[in-house]
Amino acid sequence: MFFLSSTIPAKKDKQKKKNRKAETVTTEAKIFAFIIFGFWGILLLFGLISISKPDWLVKISEPGKNVEVLTIKRTGDQFLRNKKYSLAASAYKQALKIKPDMYSARGNLGIVYSKMGYYNKAISTFKYLLKHNPERSYTSYHNIAEIYEKTDQIEKATKNYVLCAKTAPFPSYALSKAGFLYIKQDSLDLAIDYLQQSLDNRRDMSQLYEGMLEKAIPNYSDDSKKRNAIQTALDQGISKDDLKRYDFSVFETSLKKDRELAKAHNFIGTAYFKKNDLEKAQLHIKKALQIWPNFIEARDNMKTILAIQKDIDKLNEK
C-alpha cells in the first residue's frame, strides 16, 4: 500500500512538470516567432519606405550624403593636382554615383579625360554639362576649345573660344585666343577685331566689376534674394559710383605687369604685320615689351619689324 499510494502522486507530479515545460517552450517559441516576424516586418517597412523615398527620409539622409560626396570629390581633386589621373577619375565616378548632378565633379572628370588623352570622352562630358549646367557653359566651351586646339582642329577650336567669350564673366582670354587662331587661318581682320575686344575688356574696370557679379550668380542658387539683387545690379548697369569703393591705382598697376595683356598686344601686332601695316605692328609690339620686357617672342617680332623698316628706309633714300 505504501508503494501504491506513493507511486501514483509521483507520476502525477512528473506529468505536471512535463506540461509546464511544454507550456514554457510553447511560450518561448511564440515570443521568438514574434521577434522574428517583428524584425522582418520592420525590414519590410523600411524597404517600402526606401522605395517610396518620402521627403522626411530624403531630408534625413541628404546631409550625410553631401558630406560623403564632398569628401570623395576633394580626394579626386587632390589626385588631379598630383597628376594621378586614373585615381582622380575613379574618385569622380564614385562621387557621381552618389550624386549624379554634382557638376563640379563631372567637369573635373572631363579635365581628367583630356589629360589622359581620352579626348572623345572629355568632349562628351563637356557637352553633357552644356546641356545640364548652362550657367557655367563658358567653362565647357573653353575646355572643348582647348581639346580642339591640341588636336589641330583650328576652326572648331576658334568657334568654341568665341562661344566661351560670349558667355564668360571674364572674356578677355577667350577673345585673345580666338584672335590668335584667326591669325593662323589668315582671317586677319577678324583676328584684329577679337584681339582689340580682348584689350578693351581687360583694361576696363567696369567690365571686371561686371564679371565679378556675373560669376557670383550661380553661387547663390539657393538664395533667391541675393541672386535677384545681383541680377538687378547687372540689369541697371555699372555706374561710376559702383566703382568708387575700389582703388583704380591698384588696378592700373596690375595692368602694367599683366602678361596676358602683353600677349594680346603681341598677337595684334603680328596681325598688323601680316597686313603690312608696320607702324601699327610696331606700336603694339612696343606696348607688349613695355609690360613684359623679357617677352622673347615680342623681342624677335620687334627685331624683324625694325629690320624690314630699315630696308624700306634705304629703298626710299635711293
pLDDT band at 124 (very low <50, low <70, confident <90, very high): very high
Tell me, what's the pLDDT at 272?
98
Give me the percent of the chain exceeding a pLDDT of 70: 79
Determine contact, residues 73/105, Cβ cutoff 8 Å.
yes
**Grid cell for residue 55:** 521627403
Task: Please write the tens of the pLDDT for every residue from 217-269.
Answer: 777 777 788 878 878 877 777 777 777 777 778 888 999 999 999 999 999 99
What DSSP string describes 111-150? HHHHHTT-HHHHHHHHHHHHHH-GGGHHHHHHHHHHHHHH
Determine contact, residues 102/96, Cβ cutoff 8 Å.
yes
**Grid cell for residue 16:** 505536471
Task: Work out the average pLDDT over 87-98.
Answer: 96
**Grid cell for residue 260:** 596676358
Domains of the chain: 203-244 (no CATH), 256-318 (1.25.40.10)
pLDDT band at 45 (very low <50, low <70, confident <90, very high): very low
Tell me, what's the pLDDT at 6?
37
* CA separation for the pair 310, 302 (Å, rounded): 12
Question: Who's near 154: CB < 8 A, 6+ residues apart?
Answer: 148, 181, 184, 185
Task: Work out the average pLDDT over 12-22.
Answer: 50
